[in-house]
Amino acid sequence: MLLLSMTRLISCLLGGALLSLLGACQTGHFVTDKRFAVKLPPLRPYHGMVPVGFCQLPEVKKRLVYVRGTYSGVDEYWSFSPHWPSNHADKACWGTTKVELTLPDTLQVPTDMQAKFDSTHQSYPNHYLIVDAVGRYEDNQPGGYGHVGHNKAQFVVAKLVQVRLVTVSRKGRILVD
């Protein structure tokens, strides 16, 4: 167990694409390690939209929904995945469900949120994002989505409601912005 965790950590820190392909860093080391999970209050309705659980996304294909997820990755392999323990019902698909987070060119991303995405891409070994967004789930592309079809579905964002930057220090301290 410890060896597997160390392998994941080294793979993520060194950007091990091969191990990522094999699933060792499915959603980023700090996201798959429950010690680094950030507990947040449950989502409240947003402009009349009741939030759906991440695991429910396949049931509401192409409908506009409000969801919370974790955005993390390594090198070219980025995924939007359930943010457990925010929604206990999402525990069933936590760590296995990988969705491409698609920000269309037409989406106006606020400067502060874009800065958090940029920071995460530049410092992925110790950053990830918790994203609350309105959008549509799609899984109709046979080759998958993202780099070499790494993700089997995508969530096309219509509105970014909130983006939290999570930083995990070398000493294991968690900072949420």
Give the pLDDT confidence of 88-110 residue by residue, as tens digits.
566 667 666 789 999 999 999 99
pLDDT mean across residues, the chain = 77
Flag the least confident range among 37-46, 118-127, 147-156. 37-46
Q: Does residue 12 surpass a pLDDT of 60?
A: no
- In the predicted model, is pLDDT for residue 142 greater than 60? yes
| 82, 90 contact by CB (below 8 A) | yes
Looking at the predicted structure, is the pLDDT value of residue 36 above 50? yes
pLDDT of residue 163: 96
Can you tell me the distance from the alpha carbon of 85 to that of 129, in angstroms, rounded to the nearest whole number? 15
Find the range with the poorest average confidence among 55-59, 79-83, 155-159: 79-83
| Confidence label for 49 from pLDDT (cuts 50, 70 and 90) | very high
- Better-scored residue on pLDDT, 110 or 25: 110
**Dihedrals φ, ψ of 155, to 5°?**
-115, 110
